[in-house]
Amino acid sequence: MDIRIAHSPDSDDAFMFFALAKDKLPTGKFRFHHTLEDIETLNRKALEGVFEVTAISFHAYPYVEDKYILLPSGASMGDGYGPMVVSREPFGRNELRGKRIAVPGTMTSAYLVLKLFQPDFEAVVVPFDRIMDAVKRGDVDAGLLIHEGQLTYADEGLCMIVDFGLWWRETTGLPLPLGGNVIRRDLGMEDIREISRLLKASIKYSLDNRREALEYALEFARDLDAATADRFIGMYVNERTLDYGGEGRKAVQLFMDKAYEAGVIPKPVKAEFAE
């Protein structure tokens, strides 16, 4: 049975799916085929139910919950760190109002948390890996960084205005939900459970065989050195990625609740997990 898994072309996702991508685990009747796309593209394709399993932003979940259910492993959460706004020159985070800000997509969780923090700004959609260049050129007042840019912005001469993972932790006491893996409901619970088990086993394999998985993930690290890539992967693939736990699930639900209360998503949503 062919199962298409879609995820972003980043070192943390590559690390997570290493064992399945390189046939390190017996997969029984399932044959996994990997598709790599940026997260905003994956969010849009999830609206159409294109892939059996896909990474999505939690911001996208309310729009795809009719087709997909959350898997209990595979989450990326920022625990006191996360997407951040950067600029060429420093200014106060209370000065973001009305600013022209480059964002990696309007369905990303980074965009959602920016809207929760400051709803009044002009969003300019820019591919995530070109946002720092747009800020440096002065095309925008500031940029919303995801992925490795969170660790490399200072090397580019940019200033951090606000780190939303830190802000969310200070505000709620919880980690910031960013992305998760979902699986199509029409596969049926028997296959969903087995695929869920295999995905969790893949994450555990990488955590248990870190050096081997890191070597593979470096192919997707966009010129990061090994130490920086390892640090980035550790931020987003860890024990909470194996299982959300009570705190992780609470954080996802709170994120959905606050998004609805702020009018960013159109309906209240109950985060539903495949058990």
Give me the active site residues, please.
Answer: 147
Whole-angstrom CA distances from 160 to 132, 136, 209 are 12, 13, 34
The tokens for 94 are 């209370």
Find residue 180's DSSP bridge partners: 56
Q: What angle do CA 55, 59, 61 make, to 5 degrees?
A: 60
Write a three-state SS string for 103-134.
ECCCCCHHHHHHHHHCCCCEEEECCHHHHHHH
Tell me the C-alpha distance between 230 and 220, whole Å: 12
Chain Cα centroid distance, residue 27: 25
- The DSSP bridge pattern shows strands 84-87 and 159-163 to be antiparallel
Report how far residue 103's alpha carbon sits from residue 122's, in angstroms, rounded to the nearest whole number.
10
> Residue 17 to residues 54, 228, 258: CA-CA distances in angstroms?
12, 20, 31
Number of other residues whose CB lies within 10 A of the CB of residue 185: 16
Half-sphere exposure of 136 (CA within 13 A, CB side): 11
Q: How far is Cα 44 from Cα 21, in angstroms, rounded to an integer?
A: 24
Whats the size of the chain, residue-wise?
Answer: 275
The residue behind tokens 């890191």 is: 214
